[in-house]
Structure formats: structure tokens, C-alpha cells
Chain A
Amino acid sequence: AQKITQTQPGMFVQEKEAVTLDCTYDTSDQSYGLFWYKQPSSGEMIFLIYQGSYDEQNATEGRYSLNFQKARKSANLVISASQLGDSAMYFCAIAGGTSYGKLTFGQGTILTVHP
């Protein structure tokens, strides 16, 4: 069984600043993948970044990076140089090695970027 906890219901950040969205997970699988998705008010779920449990390096994709701390079971998303278009709901999700690709999502964090 997998579980994702996102403890920040809402976050605010000033434009051009960096922000960290928290995600902790629980799984009994040795192999697993962690995903972050962005969902603007339009509704589409946009894939941002992936981190595998055996990846030694933290994943990065443009302005997005994942602060992966395996021992603490955390996979925080860092957004650098925030833009107004980053305002959205952000979901952390996990797929375990025995879950046949089924994603378990956290409750999400609403990020608001102020000008």
C-alpha cells in the first residue's frame, strides 16, 4: 500500500522567488516512482517531474527540481524563479513496484504566485 501526505493546503510566493512544496510518502515497496503534477484552474493535469527510488541524483526539469531524501521518505518539489503562471494546484503521487503503475495521489497544495 502507498500513501502520500502533502501538509500544505495552500502556499503563497512572490514572483521570481523560489518555493518548496512538501511531500512525504509511505510505501512497503523497495522500488517505486514519485511524480509531481501541476493542475491549473483549466483542469488539465500536467506532468512536471519524476524521481525513481534508485536514482542517486535529484531530478531536475528546467525550473523544477525534486529534493529527494529517501531515508526521510520525502520528495519535495522546488520551483525556482516563480512565475504568475505557476499559480495552480500541485499534486505529488507515488507508484509502487507492486501497484502495477497505479498512482496514489496526495491531497494537493494550492500555490498562489503574487506579482
Chain B
Amino acid sequence: DTEVTQTPKHLVMGMTNKKSLKCEQHMGHRAMYWYKQKAKKPPELMFVYSYEKLSINESVPSRFSPECPNSSLLNLHLHALQPEDSALYLCASSQDRGVYTDTQYFGPGTRLTVL
């Protein structure tokens, strides 16, 4: 079973709203990732959690706030976003980070529109 789930599938929010994206995996993976993807572009890494600790922040603006409550759950809290933040947000998980053989499995993504 290589399933990563994400909710919601679609989200429309205003620039003053606060919302959260949720990601869940039940594969026993210890690394989880957030990516942002614009149309017809490759995914861009935002954050990496390893063993529930934030290990990589790719200089993401503070209006994006990640949280990893436990090893199977990853949230991305959104606040005061800009229209240019509209994108597909992908979550991924892998057994562990730090090894080049580690395969990342992705969820279906959340399509975010900021008005």
C-alpha cells in the first residue's frame, strides 16, 4: 500500500483567511515533504520533516507554517496568502531522508486558489 492522502482536494481562500492543508500516510514512513507546483513546472520543495522534526525549510515565507503532529500526519497552515501562492500543493512521504535510494510517494495534491 503506497497511499498518501491529502485534504481538501480544492481550496479557494481570500488573502485574509486562515486555512490548513492536511496530509496523511500509513506506510510507516518517517520522512514527509511539502512541495509547491505551478502549472507545467516541476514541483518545488518547501519543507521536509524527518522523525517529526523539521529538517529542511527552503526559505519559505512565514505565511506558510508546517506542522507534524505525529509520524503519519503533516499539516500546512496558511495565513495571509497572496494570489501568486495559487498552485498545486503536493505532500510526499518516504521511509527516511538522507539516503539516495529513498523513494518519495506523493499524494493527489490540493489545488489552492487565492483570491
Contact = CB atoms under 8 A, between A and B. Distances in A.
Nearest to B111: A43
Contact of B42 (A42, A47, A50, A91): A91
Interface string A72-99: 0000000000000000010100011101
A44 B42 contact: no
Interface in B61-107: 88, 90, 92, 94, 96-107
Nearest to A96: B100
A99 B108 CA distance: 25
A105 B98 CA distance: 17
Interface residues of B, number: 29
A91 B106 CA distance: 13
B42 A43 contact: no
Nearest to A100: B98
B105 A108 contact: no
A50 B41 contact: no
Across the A-B interface, give the 5 residue pairs with the lowest CB-CB distance, nearest first: A105-B42, A101-B97, A45-B106, A43-B109, A44-B108
27 contacts: A29-B100, A31-B100, A33-B101, A37-B106, A42-B108, A43-B90, A43-B108, A44-B106, A44-B108, A45-B92, A46-B106, A50-B101, A50-B103, A52-B100, A101-B31, A101-B48, A101-B94, A101-B96, A101-B102, A102-B45, A102-B56, A102-B97, A105-B42, A106-B42, A108-B40, A108-B41, A108-B42
